A = this chain, B = another copy of it.
């Protein structure tokens, strides 16, 4: 058992599952401490998820928003990393079952983030595209571009319309950003790249179940983001639910039926939990219930942070929002508490410091809430770009992204509209046989 990881250290072994914002912050904060860290992730890189929509729409190369996990920790002697899938945990034996074998732990931290939630709609799940990982964003990019290519040679008007209708489901930040980016693609790229297509045949829809976009933000942000999108030509439909999607037509609760081959699903997330957790520890949205120390109920050596954790306290009866700052702050805080637990000291409860939230709609158009301060438009857009650029891991990534953004700003261009791997509509994934 545990044959794959040499751990000659006498220090307690902290296994961190997931190299997202929370897992990275935690591991960094444990540098030079008397612990042995093992991080597990199915990818060998960290994904900067807030910019996935730019990869999907040809604005950034995938490699700009990914960063090799080994490189982040190259000088950290108490850090080991393995690429693996975690299948389940066995708390009684203090073991994680993975694709590379059983791994023991003294302390286990789940920082596995979230997956797309289709709320049980299997057919919708099969035919629509999610965007939580880089391969998914690249599949989406290929699909969008291939559908434009196919529209050129499609004689049947209904099929052609379905190739040119883009339906984004879910009016949170991802849906707003994605539909805005598609509107810009339509306005600036389509007339140049596809002069044979008519811009007015291309439609971008944004479907939201509640009565406003960006529900987690201020009313000003909600209203302004809707106005921005409408000015950009996006058809924003609020108070509308998706009843079904069979790969050809999406049916909406207002009896509208839109022929489309492009359904982009950003309507919800659910915690990505490995097997082995008792059902009573799992809350709404498939998140693991944790206490104010991010400890899993009745499991003194198991913790969860970030999107996968539901920190249910009197102050936060519904848990905290699934955003990067929560994960980062929890990772930072847990580093101290884990050391306190090891030394039998009193841990300190986590307090979330909400530093605001923001979303971008398009060129010169973003919305920012910082406490009572709310602003929208070009200044908000520059703030958004600055914050995201600074949050990107790695100097090279910052520079390459900055170059791309400056280039796009002046040229109205999106440079990377490449079909590197063909998307296969049967399997709804890329075609490995394509050279």
Chain B residues with CB below 8 A from A419, complex form: 43-45, 83
Of B68, B80, B421, the contact of A196 (CB 8 Å cutoff): B80
Of B44, B71, B153, B403, the contact of A403 (CB 8 Å cutoff): B403
Select from chain B the residue with minimum beta-carbon distance to A68.
B417
Provide the main secondary structure of the chain A interface.
mixed
Chain B residues with CB below 8 A from A87, complex form: none
CA distance A105 to B74 in the complex (A): 58
Query: Closest CB-CB distance, A72 to chain B, in whole Å?
Result: 11
Select from chain B the residue with minimum beta-carbon distance to A46.
B418
Of B145, B193, B397, B415, the contact of A394 (CB 8 Å cutoff): B415
- A361: interface (CB < 8 Å): no
**Interfacial residues of chain A within 245-264, with CB under 8 A of chain B in the complex:** none
User: Is the CB–CB distance between A64 and B61 below 8 Å?
Assistant: yes
Chain B residues with CB below 8 A from A70, complex form: 192-194, 417
- A355: interface (CB < 8 Å): no
Chain B residues with CB below 8 A from A431, complex form: 432
Known: A62-B61, A135-B434, A432-B432. A418 touches B149 (CB 8 A): no
Report which residue of A394, A432, A433 has the largest number of chain B beta carbons within 10 angstroms of its beta carbon.
A432
Query: Closest CB-CB distance, A247 to chain B, in whole Å?
Result: 18
CA distance A153 to B138 in the complex (A): 30
- A400: interface (CB < 8 Å): yes
Task: Place the interface of chain A in its size category.
Answer: 35 or more
State the copy count for this chain.
2
Known: A407-B395, A407-B399, A429-B433. A192 touches B74 (CB 8 A): yes
Of B66, B68, B400, B434, the contact of A193 (CB 8 Å cutoff): B68
- A420: interface (CB < 8 Å): yes
- A6: interface (CB < 8 Å): yes
Of B61, B138, B399, B424, the contact of A61 (CB 8 Å cutoff): B61
Select from chain B the residue with minimum beta-carbon distance to A3.
B155
Chain B residues with CB below 8 A from A420, complex form: 45, 62-63, 66, 134-135, 138
User: Is the CB–CB distance between B417 and A82 below 8 Å?
Assistant: no
- A430: interface (CB < 8 Å): yes
User: Is the CB–CB distance between B82 and A152 below 8 Å?
Assistant: yes
Instruction: Flag A407-432 by CB within 8 Å of B: 1 or 0 each.
Output: 10000010111111100100101111
- Further contacts, 10 of them, CB under 8 A, given A62-B63, A63-B418, A400-B403: A4-B153, A44-B418, A62-B418, A68-B418, A71-B193, A74-B193, A100-B153, A135-B434, A138-B420, A421-B421
16 A-B residue contacts at CB 8 Å?
A42-B435, A43-B418, A45-B419, A63-B63, A63-B415, A66-B420, A70-B417, A71-B193, A71-B413, A74-B192, A135-B420, A396-B404, A396-B407, A396-B415, A421-B421, A421-B430
A residues sitting closer than 8 Å to B (CB atoms) are: 3-4, 6, 42-45, 61-64, 66, 68, 70-71, 74, 80, 82-83, 100-101, 133-136, 138, 145-146, 149, 152-153, 155, 192-194, 196, 394-397, 399-400, 403-404, 407, 413, 415-421, 424, 427, 429-435
The 4 closest A-B pairs by CB, nearest first: A61-B63, A4-B153, A70-B193, A74-B192
